[in-house]
Amino acid sequence: MFKARTCPALLIAATASGQGKTTLVAALARWHHRQGRRVRVFKTGPDFLDPMILACAAATEVEPLDLWMVGAQHCQRKLYAAAQDADLILIEGAMGLFDGVPSSADLAQTLGIAVAGLIDARGMGQTFGALALGLARYRPALHWHGIIANRVASDRHAQMLRQGCLPELPLLALVPRLPAAASLPSRHLGLVQAAELADLTRRLDAAADALNDSALTQLPPSINIDPPLSIDPLPPLLAGRHIAVARDAAFSFLYPDNLRLLTELGARLSFFSPLVDHSVNADALYLPGGYPELHLSTLAANQALHHSIRAHATAGRPIYAECGGMLYLLESLTDHHGTTAALLGLLPGQATMQPRLVGLGMQSLDTQCGCLRGHSFHHSRLESPLTPTQYAQRQHGSHLGEAWYQQGAIRASYLHLYFYSAPKAAAALFLP
């Protein structure tokens, strides 16, 4: 019999995006990791870049938690598994605490996890306390651990913030503004990838040091985590199949859960780099999203791999490509500087990077084997004569979602799919 587990757990949320949640959660994870604690970190909602930073801070894999995309039962299983050996569970919220349906607040309430509210205090004095109190009282069912003031300018600023706070809502930390050399840089899709920051450890240590002597570093309340409901074992739908996964600086937007599911379905995985490898040989290819536009000349110059992938497609072997992976399959891609390069040409059409976001939001894809859930987030616009075989459905609204293309054994879309949402449908992506 599985028994309930207990573990200190905290969800850190904010009033909006851009308040410094990722830096704060990474700093706290790093602080506890340096104390020798085993820290498990999760990210609310779909995200690839923040988890890279958080994984470095906690020295362990970071997974998504989302009531819609991941599902409440699978979220519970993840939390229970983490509590087997973790000394602390941290969850970074998404956007503002109450933003979205479901929201970070919904997740905290469903899982019974206490919330710490993060507020960017720049330009605020005693009014900080009113904002904090309103945030804490907006939904009485939430369990509040306290409030965090971020980007505090000085000792006098800190004093003003304290004056505005009421004693019933603990002020857990007054985090000073970090110098530019200690902050986490961004680009058009979000934070810069962890692997691109040679001094990331130093940045994380500097952020962790800013939490010294604050109440935030004390372990939060423990929660009881009931064992998940038993589920039927997955059928070995991919038994004996070799799937080669593109993974390098250009193609790095991968959920570890997706790779885990493919393995559970029986597949053997290997990895290759479209930037440096000259050939690939497998039963199926998985081309995930990433930043192909930042490596356009290198990708275009690797003609040997182009020939290998075209031979793979000609042989009728499956290719599943999402977002940046789909751009790699096109005839050409134009980057933000107006430079155009020819790519694989396996799908007719070309894409051009745009100055603003083109696609954003949660979407689902109905298939004969089940409904896959995922999200869209891209800055490119695609022009193709190819007729989509179907369109995804948006979680909210009646407009058509992303186009889904299928040509031979190639399946491609801007969607980033979460495979555990429909395992049989995920398996079908890699079958002829």
CATH number of residue 298's parent domain? 3.40.50.880
Of the pLDDT bands very low, low, confident and very high (cuts 50, 70, 90), residue 186 is: confident
Task: Please state, for a pLDDT cut of 90, what percent of the chain lies above it.
Answer: 90
CATH code, domain with 184: 3.40.50.300
pLDDT digits (tens, 9 = 90+) for 364-411: 999 999 999 999 999 999 999 999 999 999 999 888 999 999 999 999
Residue with tokens 């559970």: 264
Angle of helix 155-164 versus helix 127-137 axis, rounded to 10: 50
* CA-to-CA separations, 39 to 35, 44, 47, 219, in angstroms, rounded: 10, 16, 19, 11
pLDDT value of residue 366: 97
Q: What is the bridge-based pairing of β-strands 222-225 and 5-14?
A: antiparallel
pLDDT value of residue 230: 76
- 75 with 221, same domain: the answer is yes
Mean of pLDDT over the chain: 95
Q: Which of 247, 182, 219, 135 is nearest to 26 (CA)?
A: 182
- 203 with 250, same domain: the answer is no
**Stretch 220-232: mean pLDDT:** 87
Domain count, the chain: 2
Instruction: Please state whether 112 falls in left (phi above 0), alpha (psi between -120 and 50) or beta.
Output: left
- 371 with 397, same domain: the answer is yes
**Stretch 180-206: mean pLDDT:** 76
Q: How far apart are the first and last CA of the chain?
A: 41
**Stretch 120-141: mean pLDDT:** 96
Residue 90 confidence (pLDDT) above 60: yes
- DSSP assignment of 342-367: E---SEEEEEEE-SS--EEEEEEEEE
pLDDT value of residue 48: 93
Residue 4 confidence (pLDDT) above 90: no
Residue 277 confidence (pLDDT) above 70: yes
- 140 with 203, same domain: the answer is yes
pLDDT digits (tens, 9 = 90+) for 329-355: 999 999 999 999 999 999 999 999 999
Structure tokens at 133: 């109190």
Rounded to an integer, what distance in angstroms lies between the CA atom of residue 255 and that of residue 416? 9
Domain enclosing residue 58, as ranges: 5-225
- 183 with 280, same domain: the answer is no
Which amino acid appears at position 419 of this protein? F
Half-sphere exposure of 377 (CA within 13 A, CB side): 19
pLDDT digits (tens, 9 = 90+) for 9-66: 999 999 999 999 999 999 999 999 999 999 999 999 999 999 999 999 999 999 999 9
Of the pLDDT bands very low, low, confident and very high (cuts 50, 70, 90), residue 255 is: very high
Rounded to an integer, what distance in angstroms lies between the CA atom of residue 250 and that of residue 123? 39
Phi/psi of residue 127, each to 5°?
Answer: -60, -20
Of the pLDDT bands very low, low, confident and very high (cuts 50, 70, 90), residue 180 is: low
Residue 187 lies in a domain: yes
pLDDT value of residue 187: 64
Residue 216 confidence (pLDDT) above 70: yes
> Which of the two residues, 38 and 196, has the higher pLDDT score?
38
Residue 70 near residue 418, CB atoms below 8 Å: yes
- 213 with 250, same domain: the answer is no
* CA-to-CA separations, 242 to 74, 245, 262, 317, 387, in angstroms, rounded: 26, 10, 10, 11, 30
- 192 with 69, same domain: the answer is yes
Of the pLDDT bands very low, low, confident and very high (cuts 50, 70, 90), residue 229 is: confident
Domain boundary among 195, 225, 255: 225
Domain boundary among 197, 225, 253: 225
> Which of the two residues, 195 and 52, has the higher pLDDT score?
52
- 247 with 390, same domain: the answer is yes
Residue 232 lies in a domain: no
Residue 233 confidence (pLDDT) above 90: no
pLDDT value of residue 231: 76
- 275 with 403, same domain: the answer is yes
pLDDT digits (tens, 9 = 90+) for 315-333: 999 999 999 999 999 999 9
pLDDT value of residue 181: 55
- 215 with 293, same domain: the answer is no
- 84 with 219, same domain: the answer is yes
**Stretch 188-213: mean pLDDT:** 84
Half-sphere exposure of 150 (CA within 13 A, CB side): 22
Q: Which of 279, 248, 252, 235 is nearest to 370 (CA)?
A: 235
- 127 with 194, same domain: the answer is yes
pLDDT value of residue 397: 84
List active site positions: 323
Residue 237 lies in a domain: no
